[in-house]
Structure 1
Amino acid sequence: MKMIPVTFPDYLKPDLHAKRNWLLVAFLNLVIVAFLGLLLRWMFVGAIKEINYKFLLHAHSHVALLGWLYTAVFVALLVTFLPQESRNQKTYTWQFWLSQGAVLGMLFSFPVQGYAAVSITFSTAHMLLSYWFIYQFLRDAGKAKINMGEHRLSLKFVKAALFFLAISSLGPWVMGPIMALGHIGSEMYFNAIYFYLHFQYNGWFTFSVLGLLFWLLEYYQVSFNSKLAVLFFRLMFWSCIPAYLLSVLWTKPDANIYLVSGVAAFVQVVALIILLVMLVPLHRQILILFGRWSRRLFILAAVAFLFKTGMQFASAFPYMAELAFRLRLFIIGYLHLVLIGFISIFLFAFFTQQGWLSFKHGISRWGMGLFLLGFISSESMLFVQGLLFWLMAGAIPFYNNFLFGVSILLPVGILLFFLGQLSGSRNNEAKVRDEIRLQRECAEKKCVKV
């Protein structure tokens, strides 16, 4: 049979083995984050006077956002959108390792001093490195003319993600003057934090995930309604900015703020409906792109996205906004739902689908199984306990002990999964997915036997 030559995907090329090692560094950061989280929950069971809970929480959150999620998305965007000659520039190598140095500095400084000179220096350095990455990535994407190729729609989401990454940094920048003026703990102080968090997880990370999702659809030539996709993008982008106001409703602002934030939340629900209308009819074509484990992870991430959007809409109502502020368990559960359930688990699915992560070894399967069990169990306990407090039904007996017990599964599970990836074996899903693409390209070009 004479076949029209087809270039194999970039992720199968030898030059990307180093990038896979970068991904393993990100996973090592996730292991550290999980153990820090376990220590935080232990402090509700057995008090440790030598450790400042608030300082440790700062370390946990910064390493989670900047050590794990930022790094994983950094790698994903490089290997999917940039050609080989661009992503192999020493510029990205410098950006990667300098950012890891900044994360390491935050890991050791935050637990000791909280927000102070050393930790602020490292976090500021990371922000400056992120500006460098934004500039370099957009410059290289422009040179490669990606916005004129098959990935022009997915690149729109990535550009929006990078825009929100830059915008989110305004929160930390204003923290310095706020703290210097003695307003620590004020409404202005917390709203600056919420500004950063909102544009991180609702902007930078969410739009990056959506960009990677549409990249998969484009790469494997899953036909979707492009007009609906553009409408979905516009609704999500323009609603993300005023949706920040949902984070300030705890201050009980004017009615106009409630109105604007409510409209933004409603628009995102409409956007979700458009996404479902567009993709549900294509679910068989989409799910076939994933293997057994990556398919499960992808579905779980999709369910988390549904819950995220629904909970965000509910928070637009004054009563629910006040309830969420009073019951911090709901906020903790929501943040974990978004950052772990939606974003992290999607990244697991994406890298597994691309052949970068493997479930070949039993230790990997057991590890991910324990991690997911720990996540679902801890989320259930957080929301059930919050619901009981809301109903004034009291606390679950030995709640903190049980929560700590199920939380053990998270670091143990992700550690086992990480150890399973160190063998360097590649997932066969990459080969299967490539065969699907080759078959589709061959069908389009009418390959014939000779």
Structure 2
Amino acid sequence: MIDFRERCTTLFLLQPHIRTVSMPHAPGWPGTCKKVRLLRLDRSNMQALQSGTNTLFLLLGAAMVLAMHAGFAFLELGTVRRENQVNALVKILVDFAVSTLAYFFIGYNIAYGVQFMHSADILAEHNGYALVRFFFLLTFAAAIPAIVSGGIAERSKFNPQLFATAVIVGFIYPLLEGVAWNERFGIQAWLAQTFGAPFHDFAGSVVVHAFGGWVALPAVLLLGPRHGRYHKDGRIAAHPPSSIPFLALGAWVLAVGWFGFNVMSAQTIDKISGLVAVNSLMAMVGGTLAAWFAGRNDPGFTYNGPLAGLVAVCAGSDLMHPLGALIVGAVAGVLFVQMFTCAQNRWRIDDVLGVWPLHGMCGAWGGIAAGVFGQKAFGGIGGVSVWSQWLGTAGAVVLALAGGAAVYGAIKLTVGLRLDREEEFNGADLAIHRISATPDREMAG
């Protein structure tokens, strides 16, 4: 058989204008010779194609992470008691809206030095990639109040929480984001010079999840436990999830969206990595099985297990070997079960969804684990420092604790954080929204 590629006298690809190429006779080609016209895309067209592809790629990621907020809502809805289900749904949505404005006008500029007070034709340059990048990173920032929401559920006032959302997303979170992902304030350069590598957090184990979980801890402590949860004689009142199906739905929506959260953190299509996808999968599986086993087949633990694994793998998902990711996820699953049990039963911290152990502890573990399992000695790609990971994680925890204590402490001293006892007894649905998830409990008028 004649290979026409070997017989072509001249072949011009990606040239500045149209060329004519002569093709010899070969099986499957009608006629003795055909002329094929090959059109080259000039440099500007190639750049436009690349820009458009990157914009579409990141837009899909933003949509997937946006969908995760539905997962947050259903996870909270399924966990809280029935009289607080409407509040869970409304709170997540309005928190997202407030986060968008705070991040658009203030937070994004603090983190990246970019603001959008330009004409639309300037903003639309490069297919609007800068705007889509903002959208993508906004969905990360808005996860902070969604995380906090689960910890303070069933007894927090609505409007004060919106104020806290605006302050945290607009002012506090961007400080950490700017340091970790935009090398602001010189901290990353100092870590690289001192320890050989900067702090590494590919998709937000520390920057998003640990920060959100540790911000939530002061809020939960300042609010105090739900009335009737803990008794003076040592008894603990059980508040089981109101809907395991909704809890499971929320966990599944979050888990699926997480692949956009992690994989699309590359932010350009040429940097996409199947390693990130498979590491996320392995950590999810490891977290599921470990939480299922440690939690003795409890469905609440089982469905939070994959989330624990995914939280932990975010930081090093681009560095680890899949077996390392499996171990990181499994440790996170056990860590969540043990810390949730200790916090609720031994320390009497009424963190309704367990956001401190799930996001705070597992996120911190993920930041440190990236420095271990990202090393070449453990099958990783390398280029990461254990000391930088420790210091970066510790710094994020300190900022989160200080910021959370300052914001929620100030609110408690001024307008108050908590519903009154009667409102809490009736439920946040009726107290705040004057409607319930089931019509038999609605308040007239």
Give the alignment's TM-score, normalised by structure 1: 0.30
By relative contact order (CA 8 Å, sep 6+), the higher-ranking structure is 2
Structure number with larger C-alpha Rg? 2
Greater helix content:
1
Give the alignment's TM-score, normalised by structure 2: 0.30
